[in-house]
Amino acid sequence: MELDYLNRHVVVTGGTGALGAAVVELLVNAGATVHVPGHRAPDPAVFSLVRHERVKIVAPVDLGDEEQVQSFYRSIPPLWASVHAAGGFTAAPITETSLAAFRQMIDTNVVTSFLCCREAVRSIRSAVGAPGGRIVNLAARTALVPSAGLAAYAASKAAVASLTLSLSEELAAEQIWVNAVLPSIMDTPLNRAAMPKADFSKWPKVGEVAATIAFLASPQNAVTRGALVPAYGQS
């Protein structure tokens, strides 16, 4: 199936990271104009799309700051979709997890998703023409499948999953489909370095997970909403 984002505006948070950049590339190739909020301007040597005419980098934007998120979404044209790939990760046994670390996961993963979802809905509603739009959140396998040593991270991603399901019901009548993708550990250089003895062939590839996100955010996704989509590969 060929995705068609022609003349559509899409936000991708975390758009200069490994997964986010892969999503941005797919969307641009399908005709979208992609708006990427970031803490800082990306290094052109790392993010090759930084000078693309339909990739709009806005920095600095703190996605945990309500006023900054509001300002960012108000500064761009009405949206078709918003993809929320920004987030953080931590791993530690519960007895070695500080309250500060737990709160950081909530702020980094849940608060950012909540604020971006809220402002995306406002932007999508402001569009003139055919109703509807798409929101795709990034949860994680640990939101559904227990894993030792990931209590803070898993709790935050479970909250993202729950937010997704609630918004899917709330927005269904407006044809704003809300879904979440739940990757397992992905095949990235950073993850390979952290787990050098793992079987990398079983990990889902970044491009494969990005393709799942790009479909869910597309006009070609005519019916799927309220889905927590596993992206586990063989892992």
Give the residue, 104 or 192, on which the prediction is more confident. Answer: 104
In a domain, 2, yes or no: no
Total number of domains constituting the chain: 1
In a domain, 1, yes or no: no
Give the pLDDT of residue 123. 98
pLDDT of 130 over the 80 cut: no
pLDDT of 147 over the 80 cut: yes
Helix and strand numbers (H, E) in the chain are 7, 7
The residues near 231 (Cβ < 8 Å, ≥ 6 apart) are 181, 182, 183, 184, 204, 208, 209, 212
pTM value? 0.96
In the sheet where 81-84 sits, what is the strand order?
55-58, 33-37, 9-13, 81-84, 133-138, 176-183, 228-231
In a domain, 3, yes or no: no
pLDDT of 136 over the 90 cut: yes
**Contact in structure between 3 and 215 (CB atoms under 8 Å):** yes
Q: Averaged over 211-231, what is the pLDDT?
A: 98
Write the single-letter amino acid at 67.
Answer: E
In a domain, 4, yes or no: no
Q: How far apart are CA 3 and CA 80, in angstroms?
A: 14
User: In which band, very low, low, confident or very high, does the pLDDT at 198 lie, cut at 50, 70 and 90?
Assistant: confident
Residue-range definition of the domain harbouring residue 113: 9-231
pLDDT of 200 over the 90 cut: no
Give the pLDDT of residue 192. 84
Give the pLDDT of residue 161. 98
In a domain, 98, yes or no: yes
* Paired residues of 180 in beta bridges: 137, 228
User: In which band, very low, low, confident or very high, does the pLDDT at 82 lie, cut at 50, 70 and 90?
Assistant: very high
Give the pLDDT of residue 232. 95
- Residue 165: φ, ψ to 5°: -65, -40
Domain holding 31: CATH number? 3.40.50.720
